[in-house]
Amino acid sequence: MYNETTHDGHAAHDEHDHHGPAKGLMRWVTTTNHKDIGTLYLWLSFTMLLYGGSMAMVIRLELFQPGLQWVEPHFFNQMTTMHGLVMVFGAIMPAFVGLANWLIPIMIGAPDMALPRMNNWSFWILPFAFAMLASTTLMESGAPAFGWTFYAPLSTTFAPDSTDFFIFAVHLMGISSVMGAINVIATILNMRAPGMTLMKMPLFVWTWLITAYLLIAVMPVLAGAVTMMLTDRHFGTSFFDAAGGGDPVMFQHVFWFFGHPEVYIMILPAFGVISAIVPTFARKPLFGYSSMVYATASIAILSFMVWAHHMFTTGMPVAGELYFMYATILISVPTGVKVFNWVTTMWKGSMTFETPMLWALGFIVMFTIGGFSGLMLGVAPVDTQYHDTYFVVAHFHYVLVTGALYSIIAAFYYWVPKWTGHMYDEKLGKIHFWWSTIAVNVLFFPQHFLGLAGMPRRIPDYSLQFAEFNMISSIGGFAFGLAQVFFLYIVIKTIKGGPKASDRVWEGATGLEFEQLPSPPPYHSFTEAPVVK
């Protein structure tokens, strides 16, 4: 719904026969434009990153030294829970949906997303969902304190009253995700420019197509899990209550049937981003495009078949443990193919190291480290010793922070000149990268040692033998947190101004958005379909 009547006389000056956005706040509330909605998603994500990050700061502050100095254990548990929920559902997932909104139409030569009004709705649900979730911290009982995995019965019989707000917030997030995913699929399958066959699509579009199917498959499972919690809490059912004939372990099966595909939802689009950036700065086409597509699809399919590797200590039958171990370590094959392909793309290239490339290289190295610890965790007998320790914490932060988050930051630096028409400050971008990369390793690498030495996760206090590495980790944590505030400054500076970016932006850039659109692109790009050779 584009309301030209609200324009203030400048409407006549719109270039390319396109009208521009409406003015004022209502532009953002009523917008159905994929670029506006992409921007909204990205800002929501950044806000949530800083919100979830501030909770991480509380966690690292309390863990800075042994003893309880700053917060009570009950509040500490609220922090770990909310940190996890906010980062997963608020920072990482919306960031990728924002990138999808901004990029998919301009990558496939479409004028907008296929379902623009639903697009508006799927975004605007989220601020309400997160407001509802965040409000629990102000309630008398405190926020949910049972970990982002909310295992029953801690999250049912033993949970604070605020849990019901959490349940409905998760429902809303799920509705938003499913609508976003439907939109992505409808757009990709219906709105590609003539000649843009599936096997010519940029890998980012491919990874998002597959991710969208994962979302549609598993978000309803999550909704089912929280609904069963709700009825257990209030309507006398006993899905997860052993005393009523229910099964607390079934909760974990249901949760991880959602939860494991969920981790791939957070990493597959990242693979797409890296597969766009590396060829540009190696000035060489992506090695093994079709094997990248097949590897992504196999990872997605395997992701449905490995969920119980999160449950090796729950007392599963041996046959089950063996199956889940074999299936899990099998995932490292397609994941390895991806890393090998990226490295081979660089091989005999003509490489330069602008900021987006630095973040992409950081991604490849540190995501691979996270992949190695993932392989170790997949080996069931030793997982019984790694399970629920800081080794796991280190592992998933290497794949989610230096993996997913790094790819999002890389994507920002790579596409922001296209989006705004302004080059970011290269020097500040590089400082941001090196500052973050040193800090993040000081933060998370020692956590491997802590876990192996026997420190369980989710504890507000620890014995003296863990003191040194916790202090080092906390220092890294504060430095990494500060680096992202610095990032906020870079983002605002770039939006406000900067050297004019060329249409191509990068010497080696390929794809419709760089080859056929100006920087910044018009409010409605591709009103006439481009020709794809």
CA distances from 515 to 107, 420, 433 (A): 10, 16, 28
Work out the burial of residue 287: count CB atoms within 10 Å of its CB; fewer than 13 is exposed, 13-18 middle, 19 or more buried: buried
What whole-number distance in Å separates Cα of residue 133 and Cα of residue 169?
6
Stretches 142-150, 186-194, 206-214, 483-491: which one binds other proteins (CB under 8 A)?
142-150
CB of 51 to other proteins, least distance (A): 22
Stretches 105-113, 191-199, 220-228, 347-355: which one binds other proteins (CB under 8 A)?
347-355
**Site mask, other proteins, residues 236-265, x = CB under 8 A?**
------xx--xxxx----------------
Which residue among the candidates 34, 35, 310, 395 is catalytic per the annotation? 310
Are 447 and 369 spatial neighbours (Cβ–Cβ below 8 Å)? no
Which residue among the candidates 171, 260, 387, 418 is catalytic per the annotation? 260
Does 426 participate in binding other proteins (rule CB under 8 A)?
Answer: no
CB of 119 to other proteins, least distance (A): 34
What whole-number distance in Å separates Cα of residue 364 and Cα of residue 343?
9
Are 388 and 456 spatial neighbours (Cβ–Cβ below 8 Å)? yes
Token pair in block for residue 142: 């405190």
Q: Which CB atom, from 150 or from 526, has the smaller least distance to other proteins?
A: 150
Clarify whether 310 is annotated catalytic.
yes
CB of 362 to other proteins, least distance (A): 7
Does 22 participate in binding other proteins (rule CB under 8 A)?
Answer: no
Q: Which CB atom, from 135 or from 463, has the smaller least distance to other proteins?
A: 463
What whole-number distance in Å separates Cα of residue 340 and Cα of residue 338?
5
Which residue among the candidates 7, 253, 457, 493 is catalytic per the annotation? 457
CB of 383 to other proteins, least distance (A): 9
Does 435 participate in binding other proteins (rule CB under 8 A)?
Answer: no
Does 224 participate in binding other proteins (rule CB under 8 A)?
Answer: no
The partner residues of 456 in beta bridges, in order of sequence, read 389
Among residue numbers 309 through 338, which ones bind other proteins (CB under 8 A)? Answer: 313-315, 318, 321-322, 325-326, 329-330, 332-333, 336-337
What whole-number distance in Å separates Cα of residue 409 and Cα of residue 362?
11
Chain CA centroid to CA 241, Å: 33
Task: Pick from 140, 199, 427, 533 the residue near other proteins by CB under 8 A.
Answer: 140
Q: Which CB atom, from 180 or from 259, has the smaller least distance to other proteins?
A: 259
Residue type, 434: W
Are 101 and 38 spatial neighbours (Cβ–Cβ below 8 Å)? yes
CB of 437 to other proteins, least distance (A): 7
389 backbone dihedrals φ, ψ, rounded to 5° = -115, 180
Q: Which CB atom, from 333 or from 531, has the smaller least distance to other proteins?
A: 333
Does 479 participate in binding other proteins (rule CB under 8 A)?
Answer: no
What whole-number distance in Å separates Cα of residue 99 and Cα of residue 113?
12
CB of 188 to other proteins, least distance (A): 23
Q: Which CB atom, from 9 or from 315, has the smaller least distance to other proteins?
A: 315
Token pair in block for residue 351: 């490489």
Residue type, 166: F
CB of 170 to other proteins, least distance (A): 18
Does 19 participate in binding other proteins (rule CB under 8 A)?
Answer: no
What whole-number distance in Å separates Cα of residue 131 and Cα of residue 128?
5
Does 131 participate in binding other proteins (rule CB under 8 A)?
Answer: no
The partner residues of 389 in beta bridges, in order of sequence, read 456
Clarify whether 148 is annotated catalytic.
yes
Please work out the total of residues on this chain that contact other proteins, with binding judged by CB under 8 A: 108
What whole-number distance in Å separates Cα of residue 92 and Cα of residue 98?
10
Does 95 participate in binding other proteins (rule CB under 8 A)?
Answer: no
What whole-number distance in Å separates Cα of residue 515 and Cα of residue 507?
11
Task: Pick from 79, 86, 145, 270 the residue near other proteins by CB under 8 A.
Answer: 145
Q: Which CB atom, from 454 or from 498, has the smaller least distance to other proteins?
A: 454
Does 481 participate in binding other proteins (rule CB under 8 A)?
Answer: no
CA distances from 30 to 36, 58, 123, 527 (A): 10, 37, 11, 21
- Up-side HSE of residue 406: CA atoms within 13 Å toward CB? 32
Clarify whether 70 is annotated catalytic.
no
Among residue numbers 351 through 390, which ones bind other proteins (CB under 8 A)? Answer: 351-353, 361-362, 364-366, 368-369, 372, 375-376, 379-382, 384-385, 387-389
DSSP run (H or E) holding 486: helix 467-496
Q: Which CB atom, from 159 or from 212, has the smaller least distance to other proteins?
A: 159
Task: Pick from 472, 482, 495, 532 the residue near other proteins by CB under 8 A.
Answer: 472
CB of 453 to other proteins, least distance (A): 4
Clarify whether 335 is annotated catalytic.
yes
Secondary structure (3-state) at 422: strand
Concatenated DSSP letters of 251-298:
HHHHHHHHHHHHHHHTTHHHHHHHHHHHHHHHTSPPTTHHHHHHHHHH
CA distances from 21 to 37, 61, 409 (A): 12, 44, 26
CB of 262 to other proteins, least distance (A): 19
Clarify whether 309 is annotated catalytic.
yes
What whole-number distance in Å separates Cα of residue 446 and Cα of residue 473?
6
**Site mask, other proteins, residues 146-185, x = CB under 8 A?**
xx---x-xx--xx-xx------------------------
Clarify whether 338 is annotated catalytic.
yes
Secondary structure (3-state) at 151: coil
Which residues have a catalytic role annotated?
Answer: 83, 112, 148, 176-177, 260, 262, 264, 275, 309-310, 335, 338, 457
